[in-house]
Amino acid sequence: MAIAAPAKPVAIAVDDGFLAALAAILSDRMSTAQAVRDQHGRDESYHEVEAPDVVVFPETTEEVAAIVKLCAANDVPLIPFGTGTSLEGGVAATRGGVCIDMSRMNAILRVSTDDLDVTVQAGVTRKQLNEHLKTTGLFFPIDPGADASLGGMAATRASGTNAVRYGTMRENVLALTVVMPDGRIVKTARRARKSSAGYDLTRIFVGSEGTLCVITEVTLRLYGVPEAISAAVCPFDSLEGAVRTVIQTIQMGVPIARVELLDELSVKAVNAYSKLDHPVQPTLFFEFHGTEAGVVEQAEMVQAIASEHGGGEFKFATLAEDRNALWQARHNAYYASLRLRPGSKGWPTDVCVPISRLADAILETQEDLKTSTLIAPMVGHVGDGNFHLVLLVDPENPADLVEAQRINDRLVERALAMGGTCTGEHGIGLGKRDFLIAEHGEAISVMRQIKQALDPQGIMNPGKVLRP
């Protein structure tokens, strides 16, 4: 398997006439340059570059609808593109076609401080939104690490470090505006916080990875900025002690906002990359939100639990700049890991298991890694049972790819046997389609029926989620 593939020939339908029709919609906001096409045919993972035939840059929902109608009329595949930070090959143009880059749809359309919600175009990023909200006393908490687009986050049902307290995109998307595969513009819900009116289209499209529609607008829940925020780092004598601390903390109902696990390899990588000096031991990063008294009480409870499981001294960060530096170091763990094997490519993978099985899942995975030829740091949003490996591979070495696949297979099979899922937040894309079958069984036939009903031509991000 190679990282870069030769450029695909232009599909028969993407001829000069088709490109002229696109130009009539978009003027010069489109590109067939090879470099632009290659950029839009890759994500952050090991998957091959599979370039689209043309990249377009719409600015309105109506323009997206016109593009989709043109593609449907010519049987041309189309692939929505946010910021390219996905991890399972979700933007690869497996049949060429049109990549719809949403980056120019970056307007914040409405903020309601009274109703605690906001409507944005799909290209708005999470950092852009929170910067805009700074003066309102509100924030949007879903934080997958990368500065991803909110449309992309909805499409992949993203979560991240704050999910243990605030949930995932599934819980925080109130409504969507989408363009259907035939070009119809559909609003999936109103702004009411609850409704029992009709099928829940919002939930069908959240997590659909561009295979059912193009998301153009997103209405999201907002939250008040907590009165007090404190972060802490705690090293542990053992990985098991760190994981048992998390399990007990969750089971006791301590309302922590974040709890992140880094194994020794990850701590070593983060220290070198971000110029930190954390002890090279299994480590938990915590964050506590609430009143001044509440934050102190939460921290004291977690310290007591950690001390029972070999936890060391808590190192606190209460100033915003110190907390931001801590979490930026955690978010950079993927890039830090790549430096453990210079020239390697990351094969990132994740699973999620019931919290009661978290220790078993992590410790058994670590046993697999002890006998592996690959370097594979582990991190995890362990408050909700989700953890990740970054398998460092030489993409030109077949033995590396075989070993990475073996470790990945065992990881997922173990998670499924424990009642978990093959992916907590990365999505299916190309990389986990077969695991989806193992996880859902007969439900796959229902998913195929939905896909066929909504996208009978099969033009929406073909080859992703469900195998052709």
The string of pLDDT tens digits covering residues 73-90 is 999 999 999 999 888 889
Q: Around Cβ 378, how many Cβ atoms within 10 Å? A: 22
Residue 5's pLDDT is: 38
Q: Around Cβ 45, how many Cβ atoms within 10 Å? A: 24
Each residue's pLDDT tens digit, 414-454: 999 999 999 999 999 998 999 999 999 999 999 999 999 99
Residue 13's pLDDT is: 65
Residue 324's pLDDT is: 87
Residue 2's pLDDT is: 35
Estimate to the nearest angstrom the gap between the alpha carbon of 45 and the chain centroid.
12
Beta strand residue intervals within 298-429, DSSP E:
315-317, 345-352, 378-381, 386-393
DSSP 3-state of 32: coil
Q: Which of 223, 220, 387, 333 is nearest to 289 (CA)?
A: 223
According to DSSP, the residues that pair with 108 across neighbouring strands are: 120
Residue 468's pLDDT is: 84
Estimate to the nearest angstrom the gap between the alpha carbon of 210 and the chain centroid.
14
Note the pTM of the prediction, 2 decimals: 0.93
- Strand 345-352 to 185-187 pairing: unpaired
Report the run of H or E that residue 81 belongs to, with start and end. strand 78-81
Q: Which residues of the chain have pLDDT under 50?
A: 1-12
- What residues contact 367, with CB distance under 8 A and at least 6 apart? none
Cβ atoms of residues 86 and 152 within 8 Å: yes
CA 403 → CA 360, 366, 378, 408, 409, distances in Å? 22, 15, 17, 8, 10
Report the run of H or E that residue 203 belongs to, with start and end. helix 201-205
Cβ atoms of residues 234 and 311 within 8 Å: yes
Residue 160's pLDDT is: 86
Rounded to a whole number, what is the distance in angstroms from the first to the last CA of the chain? 21
| Alpha helix stretches (DSSP H) within 252-291 | 264-274
How many residues are recorded in the chain? 468
Q: Around Cβ 154, how many Cβ atoms within 10 Å? A: 26
Amino acid at 105: M
Burial class (CB in 10 A: 0-12, 13-18, 19+), 35: exposed
